[in-house]
Chain A
Amino acid sequence: MRPERVIGNLEKRFPGEIVEASKDGEDLVLVIRPEALLRIMGSLKGPPYSYKLLLDLTCVDFRRDAGAFEMVYHLYSLDANGRVRVKVRLPADAPLLDSLAGLWRNANWLEREVYDMFGVVFRGHPDLKRILMYDGFEGFPLRKDYPLRRRQPKAVKGNST
């Protein structure tokens, strides 16, 4: 489905939820409200759009400039060879969002990584714990206020856990 038609359809079905819509080359870029995430993603995944492949899910720390975290989702449609980027802005003091683990299975690990690196908490995630850093690591490394060179060595207790 062509990007313009997708935007038109979505704006009819979800009035007021889409904050911004634009195009980046052949891809569609949508900025939506956090409350509508599950509904809009669910409808993007199903027919007629069929963006069945969740390519990526990440976060950008814009707290210094815009006072918000920005979650970025990339979806891809195998049938239509179309890509869409969905962005959601979360307030800096309450980074809380619905989990997409029920819709796409790789969202499980991807959201764990965003939690590990940024501290965004996902409601409804089956098992939200750290994935790349070890348990007991303090802080969220990819936030802008975490210094690159801070050393947090892991205590060596003599057993490998």
Chain B
Amino acid sequence: MTLEPRSERNTMLLNLGPSHPAMHGTVRIMVELDGERILNSEVEIGYLHRGFEKTCENRTYFNLLPYTDRLNYVSPLINNAGYALAMEKLLGIEAPERAQYIRVLMCELSRISDHLTSVAAMGMECGAFTVFFYMMKAREYIWDVIEFTTGARMTASYIRIGGVRADLHPDYRAALEKAVRETRKVLKDVHGLLDGNKIFLDRTKGLGALTPEEAVSYGWTGPCLRSTGIRYDVRKARPYLVYDRMDFDVPLGANGDNFDRYMVRMMELDQSLRIVEQTAAAMPPRAPIAVGDRRYVEPSEAIRVSRSQRVIGPVRLSPNLEGSEKDVYRDIQAADRRWTLPPKEDAYTTMEGLIDHFLFFMKGRGIRPPKGEVYFSVEGGNGELGYYIVSDGTDRPYRLHLRAPCFHVVSALERLIKGRYVADVIPTFGSLNMIGGELDR
């Protein structure tokens, strides 16, 4: 609702943001105050609207993958997974089993990183700087694991249509165990610092509460909805990837206030760590690589030799293609060459591989799904992250729409802070976990 200063009352208009340390980026909250009590407020968003949906209409289905990373940028691999799964539903293909387990592992690591960042930011804004430093330390270990395999700490563009880009790093288990151990230590510390902390409890208990009916009416999903007591988790309601084989609980809150949202996220961190351990233990083995004296052929020599005869030996690929060799390709990418890239060795040495490679990237060709539309949702860090893709048969999407979970969560902010003090805005807003890239797209 629009704010106008009322002339008959002695009220003050205060502007929080858009550049504000506690505004998680860029949200502007204009409040009308009577002393310190908020009478009315107006939340203005759109300061990070980067034209994602319009840009995607001008990119091919393969090219727009990096744009999906930058939506919910604290859990980028979940956005990748959502897009890849929506496209796989549209195309009617499925990724190999090992790729699905790897996807679950990466999604849960991203979810851990999302919740760590959210609780850390909420703590920092309430003044608990130590919580922020501890959780950032744990997040670094998680990002190390992601970086070993994908090559990037954050925006990885790793989960592709048809599978994943590369296989897990051979030494990932040591890094993963260290990350899980450190995260558990940090969680124990943060529980000790915040759960019984009188200042934190005063600022979060009983504030920012929403009844379950109102939460559903506002379209809330994810941890915010579960904190009101409604059990809705897309991983359980409509299981995707291999979540139906994993054993995990869905923590619920009781009151729907700030403290419950914080607690639900902390408990979900435990559950995500459980899923990570189960995935690592149940990971299907990769295809056995033939042992023996294998002489690696340099790419230039392989290309030269392949002009006259078939190349037998393995081709030494450049280090940034590590993990996507032909031997492991069967485990990480679906076999249908219309929708996935051929392995590099084939592109170097066989005519069919070269043709597949070029047809994949040529303008007007590549991934051209049949005409139709699809809506697919995954459980993002904030709730149901849905992709609605309309395809008209060409190589570019006709319309790509993201169902952003925090758009609905933040739309309730005006209702949550009405009648409260200015100081209550900060923990309330922090507990909602607004991510600008997802909110404004």
- Our verdict on whether A and B bind, yes or no, reads yes
A-side interface residues toward B, CB under 8 Å? Answer: 24-25, 27, 52-56, 58, 60-61, 72, 74, 78, 81, 83, 85, 104-106, 108-110, 113, 117, 126-127, 129-134, 141-142, 146, 148
Main secondary structure of the interface of B (DSSP, over half): mixed
Q: How far is the CB of B243 from chain A (nearest CB, A)?
A: 15
Task: Report if A108-B411 is in contact (Cβ < 8 Å); known contacts: A52-B216, A81-B238, A133-B46.
Answer: yes
Interface size on B, residues (CB 8 A): 41
Q: Is the CB of B55 within 8 A of A58?
A: no
Q: Is the CB of B218 within 8 A of A55?
A: no
Interface stretch of the complex, out of B166-174, B344-352, B395-403 = B395-403
Chain A neighbourhood of B398, CB < 8 A: 60
Q: Is the CB of A53 within 8 A of B216?
A: yes
CB contact list, B24-52 vs A, under 8 A: 45-46, 49, 51
Q: How far is the CB of A27 from chain B (nearest CB, A)?
A: 7
Q: Is the CB of B403 within 8 A of A132?
A: no
| B114 CB within 8 Å of chain A | no
Q: Is the CB of A127 within 8 A of B1?
A: yes
Q: Is the CB of B45 within 8 A of A132?
A: yes
Q: Is the CB of A148 within 8 A of B54?
A: yes
B-side interface residues toward A, CB under 8 Å? Answer: 1-2, 45-46, 49, 51, 53-55, 57-58, 89, 214, 216-219, 221, 230, 232, 237-238, 373-375, 377, 384, 386, 388, 390, 398-399, 401, 403, 407-408, 411-412, 415, 440-441
| Complex Cα gap A78–B411 (Å) | 20
Q: Can you pick out 18 interface pairs between chain A and chain B where the beta carbons lie within 8 Å of each other? A: A24-B375, A27-B375, A53-B219, A56-B403, A58-B401, A61-B399, A83-B375, A105-B214, A105-B218, A105-B219, A106-B218, A106-B411, A109-B411, A126-B1, A132-B440, A133-B49, A148-B54, A148-B58
Q: How far is the CB of A50 from chain B (nearest CB, A)?
A: 10
Chain B neighbourhood of A27, CB < 8 A: 375
Q: How far is the CB of A132 from chain B (nearest CB, A)?
A: 4
Task: Report if A55-B49 is in contact (Cβ < 8 Å); known contacts: A74-B403, A85-B375, A129-B2.
Answer: no
Q: Is the CB of A55 within 8 A of B232?
A: no
| Selected contact of B55 from candidates A56, A106, A148, CB within 8 Å | A148
Q: Is the CB of A131 within 8 A of B46?
A: yes
Task: Report if A78-B412 is in contact (Cβ < 8 Å); known contacts: A58-B388, A106-B219, A148-B58.
Answer: no
| Complex Cα gap A85–B388 (Å) | 11
Q: Is the CB of A78 within 8 A of B58?
A: no
Q: Is the CB of B386 within 8 A of A55?
A: yes
Q: Is the CB of A141 within 8 A of B401?
A: no
| Complex Cα gap A58–B237 (Å) | 24
Chain A neighbourhood of B230, CB < 8 A: 78
| Chain B: CB-nearest residue to A146 | B54
| Complex Cα gap A129–B58 (Å) | 27
Given contacts A27-B375, A54-B219, A85-B375, 12 further A-B contacts (CB under 8 A): A55-B221, A74-B386, A78-B232, A83-B375, A104-B218, A105-B217, A105-B219, A106-B218, A110-B407, A113-B407, A148-B51, A148-B58
| Shortest 10 CB-CB contacts between residues of A and residues of B | A106-B219, A132-B46, A132-B49, A109-B411, A56-B403, A106-B408, A58-B401, A60-B399, A105-B217, A105-B218
